[in-house]
């Protein structure tokens, strides 16, 4: 169900668009849109949000909007020049489209679908491709070396997914400081979530 606030009916609810039952106006019982026909909504829906009914919890949950770009920011700890930090980032979804990678200084950013892929690829020099004919699982490997803040725009956006045994809202990274001095590195990923 997609929610549309109805400013013409202040305090009386919001319009909805449900592909199963068609369009209509659903009274929420208040202008804060806290329930639909007596079933509570977790969180506060905004225009265009997608709600999904959870029968177990007997509540509406906000699961979108799915196709809205957002920025994921990761700042490493202090890294000596040439040193790396590995870990995982929670993008708030299990799969996403990667549109761009921005760093606040010269750095290398590598993304992986699993911790095992991250560990297997450690130590590979930039410019050296993963082993041919291998399932290398490198999602992206970007070197930004202009000397300051820089953005790599994916001219063909990349689809990235968590591929853990039980898919989770995380993506694994390796970030290397190439700024020439000891510093933290801030990386911004612009993504469009696909799978929640």
Residues 6+ apart with CB under 8 A from 145: 106, 178
In this prediction, residue 30 carries a pLDDT of 40
CA distance 115 to 164: 8
pLDDT over 90 at 135, yes or no: no
CA distance 149 to 101: 11
The tokens describing 33, both together, are 């849109």
CATH for 70-195? Answer: 2.60.120.1050
CB distance 161 to 95 below 8 Å = yes
Q: If residue 119 lies in a helix (H) or strand (E), which one and from where to where?
A: helix 115-120
CA distance 144 to 103: 7
Long-range residue pairs from 56-61, CB within 8 A, at least 24 positions apart, any chain? 60/1, 60/35, 60/36
Q: Model-level pTM?
A: 0.68
**Closest Cα to residue 94, out of 167, 188, 189, 192?**
167
**Minimum mean pLDDT range among 124-133, 142-151, 160-169, 172-181:** 124-133
**DSSP 3-state percent helix, strand, coil across the chain (nearest 5):** 5, 45, 50
In this prediction, residue 8 carries a pLDDT of 47
pLDDT over 50 at 193, yes or no: yes
In this prediction, residue 23 carries a pLDDT of 44
pLDDT in tens, 3-31: 555 444 444 445 554 544 444 444 444 43
pLDDT in tens, 60-115: 888 766 578 899 999 999 999 999 999 999 999 999 999 999 999 999 999 999 99
pLDDT in tens, 151-169: 999 999 999 999 999 999 9
Domains of the chain, residue spans? 2-62, 70-195
């Amino acid at each position: 169900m997609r929610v549309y606030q109805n400013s013409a009916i202040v305090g009386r609810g919001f319009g909805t668009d449900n592909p199963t039952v068609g369009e209509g106006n659903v009274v929420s019982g208040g202008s804060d849109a806290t329930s639909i026909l007596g079933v509570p909504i977790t969180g506060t829906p905004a225009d265009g949000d997608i709600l999904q009914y959870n029968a177990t919890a007997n509540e509406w949950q906000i699961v979108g909007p799915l196709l809205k770009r957002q920025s994921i920011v990761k700042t490493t700890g202090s890294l000596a020049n040439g040193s790396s930090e590995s870990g995982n980032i929670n993008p708030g979804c299990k799969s996403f489209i990667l549109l761009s990678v921005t760093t606040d200084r010269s750095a290398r950013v590598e993304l992986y679908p699993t911790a095992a892929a991250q560990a297997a690829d450690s130590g590979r020099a930039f410019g050296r491709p993963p082993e041919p004919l291998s399932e290398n699982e490198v999602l992206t490997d970007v070197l930004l070396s202009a000397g300051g803040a820089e953005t790599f725009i994916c001219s063909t956006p990349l689809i990235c997914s968590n591929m853990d045994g039980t898919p989770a809202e995380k993506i694994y990274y390796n970030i290397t400081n190439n700024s020439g001095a000891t510093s933290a590195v801030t990386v911004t990923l612009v993504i469009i979530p696909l799978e929640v």
